[in-house]
Chain A
Amino acid sequence: MSGPYQWARIVSGPQNRKTRPILAYTLRRLVILLFSLLVAAVVLFILLRLLPGDPANALLGVGATEAQIASARAQVGSDQPLYVQFISFISNLARFDLGTSFVSRASVVEEIGNRLSVTLPLTILGFVAALIIAVPLGIIAAVRSTKWYGAAISVISQLGIAIPVFWVGILLVSLFAINLRLLPSGGFPLKGWANLGEASTAMILPVLTISLVMSASMLRYVRAATLEVLGSDYLRTARALGSSFPEALIRHGLRNGAVPVISILGIELASTFLGAVVIERVFSLPGLGSMLLLAIQQRDYPNVQGVLFISTLLVLLIGFAADLTQRIVDPRLRDRGAGTP
């Protein structure tokens, strides 16, 4: 037996009872991810072609001759029929070739890589700090919901959701940079992370801003998930069987409460990444968001296209990771569709 039959035999073997559903789900989910990416690429292609004017004009500026325009069109490929442009666009994407910037003449992939060295740490640190704030406070807000401090945490988190992220950033700048003069109000060292001390200091306020705003909404989800666990029969049963309250909460609450929170965290991480655009603007950080805004202003189509494509890819990957984690944590989801023995 060989080929797909061999594969089917291996996958359906009894020893793979546990891994089979996850493997099948991962493959299925990967196909969906690739399809979503293709749809996003098509939408991106159409949207950029719908913009008024020819990309070649952006390359030349005002006062170019007809010959210069024709040469520029040939250079960027906008003189080709639309389907040829599309095939070229997709095949370049498949090779991860996002082209060359009209303005800097640098490789878009390289430029995005440089910008990601700011945006990714900002997103990840902001997200992790938000988790560190939200998880314990969310649990306390649920477990002590009848106490004044449980209610206070809940009310403050509600306020946190209502306050826009840029406003929190401005308040923090006003407090820590202008009044207390403890931290820089913005900017990032030219040498980037090579200048570790300065780069880390520059990240403190943006990370704090993101974490405070993100933790407010995360806290609500953690609180709701914990309240659900607290009302569950299995927690009451564990108490009745002899577990102390903290013991029962740790043993049963954390994993069960984590499942609904994980799917939300995927969305939160994606929105943290997209929200970093605003934060980079407030703190003048040279990240992906600033690159996108600059590229739009300069009509640098390859850069716009590149940033949007990479952002879409990252958001889809985050969703993929969140879905997979949820399957791994929850055995019921893991076995869904696999049939019961």
Chain B
Amino acid sequence: MSLLTVEKASFGYSKTRLVLDGASLDISPGDSIGLVGESGSGKTTLLRLLLGLIRPSSGNITFKGAQLDPANAAFMREYRRQVQVVFQDPYSSLDPRQKVFAIVAEPLRSLRIAGDHRQMVTDALVSVGLDANVLDRFPHEFSGGQRQRIAIARAIVSGPSLLLADEAVSALDLSTRIRIVELLKSLSQTMTLVFVSHDLGVVAALCERIVILEKGRIVEAGPTASILANPQHPYTQRLLASVPRMPA
């Protein structure tokens, strides 16, 4: 059974200009899917639809067979418990005036998850490679990579089955990026991962399937290895050709 299904979803800020046009996607448990495209291709809009932050102008999104309904508070609480997100910029996605404990415990509080929150937060931090003694520190006391680990700890603290990552490594320097990709890779062994990126290299390292978007439309989708080896759509070919390579 599919975990999350998107059927011909469209979204536009006006009726004439769609930023996402008839996108269909099927996410099964254990999948690791990369949504790839340039800026303005509609990948972040698709992610926002998956998060229930916006509603599709047309089409359907279903979670475990039930229609995604942002107006249904009880459904959305369970949905958000199962589907969590890591955003691009670790400098701005963490509240600068909250300590690490309050930041990571936010989903537990918001979703009214019972239990020993301090222990759950500590476990989440340790699982992303941070010390348990960082609970009382503020985000500005950490490097970019550490902040993104805090953001990932926050996303996994509620025990989601699906993790959405929106350009989660693009604001990081190269060595930090590699370490965060390795962390996401290890997390993808235990949960479903949807990774949004414009960087084909990172997606190739992380995801088993790729979905290519261009101007709001899905132009190609399939296993990562076969698409990278034999791209069919001209846009995918251009994307692949634009990946920087070391000179021979």
Taking Cβ atoms with an 8 Å cutoff, the residues of A that contact B are 232-234, 236-244, 247, 251-252, 255-256, 259, 329-332, 335, 340-341
* A240 to B162 Cα, complex, angstroms: 13
Q: List 20 A-B contacts (CB under 8 A).
A: A233-B93, A234-B95, A234-B96, A240-B80, A241-B80, A241-B154, A241-B155, A242-B76, A242-B110, A243-B106, A251-B106, A255-B97, A256-B96, A256-B97, A331-B138, A331-B140, A332-B96, A332-B140, A335-B140, A340-B140
Q: Which residues of B contact A255 (CB under 8 A)?
A: 97
Contacts beyond the supplied A238-B106, A252-B98: 10 A-B pairs with Cβ under 8 Å: A233-B89, A237-B94, A237-B151, A240-B85, A241-B110, A242-B77, A256-B96, A331-B96, A340-B140, A341-B141
A5 to B27, CA, bound (A): 65
Is the pair A233, B106 in contact by a Cβ cutoff of 8 Å?
A: no
Given the known inter-chain contacts A331-B140, A335-B138, please indicate yes or no for A247 contacting B110, CB distance below 8 A. Answer: yes
Cβ of A256 and Cβ of B141 under 8 Å apart? no
- Identify the interface centre among A232, A237, A247, A335: most chain B CB within 10 Å of its CB: A237
A238 to B73, alpha carbons, bound, how many Å? 15
The answer for the CA separation of A234 and B138 in the assembled complex, in Å, is 14
Contact-size category for B: 20 to 34
A-B contact count (CB 8 A): 73
Query: For chain B residues 86-125, which have a beta carbon within 8 Å of chain A?
Result: 87, 89, 92-98, 106-107, 110-111
Q: How far is the CB of A26 from chain B (nearest CB, A)?
A: 20
Q: A332 to B94, alpha carbons, bound, how many Å?
A: 13
> Shortest distance in angstroms between B124's beta carbon and chain A's nearest beta carbon?
13
Q: Which residue of A lies closest to B80 (CB)?
A: A242
Cβ–Cβ < 8 Å partners of A329 in chain B? 97
A335-B97 Cα distance, complex, nearest whole Å: 12
A234→B96 CA distance, assembly (Å): 9
What is the bound-complex CA distance between A332 and B95, given in angstroms? Answer: 11
B161 interfacial contact with A, CB 8 Å: no
Chain A residues near B81: list those with CB within 8 A.
242
Instruction: Say if the beta carbon of B51 comes within 8 Å of chain A.
Output: yes
B1 proximal to A (CB < 8 A): no
| CB neighbours of A331 from chain B (8 A) | 96-97, 138, 140
Are A237 and B97 CB-contacts (below 8 A) given A242-B111, A335-B141? no
Q: What B residues does A330 contact at CB under 8 A? A: 96-97
How many angstroms from the CA of A255 to the CA of B97 in the assembled complex?
7
Min Cβ gap A334→B in Å is: 9
> Do residues B85 and A241 form an inter-chain contact, with CB atoms below 8 A?
yes
Cα A241 to Cα B83 in complex, Å, equals 9
Q: Does B84 contact A (CB under 8 A)?
A: yes
> How far does the Cβ of B190 sit from chain A's closest Cβ, in whole Å?
19
B246 within 8 A of A: no
Chain A residues closer than 8 Å to B154, beta-carbon distance: 241
- With A233-B89, A241-B85 already in contact, the answer to whether A256 and B110 are too (CB < 8 A) is no
Contact A237 B53, beta carbon cutoff 8 Å: no
Task: Give the residues in chain B near A244, CB-CB below 8 Å.
Answer: 73, 110
Q: With CB as the reference atom, state the residue of chain B lying closest to A254.
A: B97
Decide: A233 and B110 in contact? CB cutoff 8 A: no
Q: Give CA–CA (A238, B77) in the complex, Å.
A: 13
Bound Cα distance A232, B107 (Å): 18
CB distance from A206 to the nearest CB of B (A): 37
Nearest residue, chain B, Cβ from A241 = B107
Closest to B73 in A: A244
In the complex formed, the residue of A with least CB distance to B166 is: A240
The one of B51, B53, B85, B95 that contacts A252, using a Cβ cutoff of 8 Å = B95
CB-defined contacts of A251 to chain B, threshold 8 Å: 95, 106
Across-interface contacts of B85 in A (CB, < 8 A)? 237, 240-241
B140 touches A232 (CB 8 A): no
Q: Flag if A340 contacts B92 (CB, 8 Å).
A: no
Task: Select the residue from A240, A244, A255, A331 with max chain B CB neighbours within 10 A.
Answer: A240
Residue of B84, B89, B110, B141 touching A238 (CB-CB under 8 A): B110
Nearest to A18 among chain B residues (CB) is B136
CB distance from B167 to the nearest CB of A (A): 12
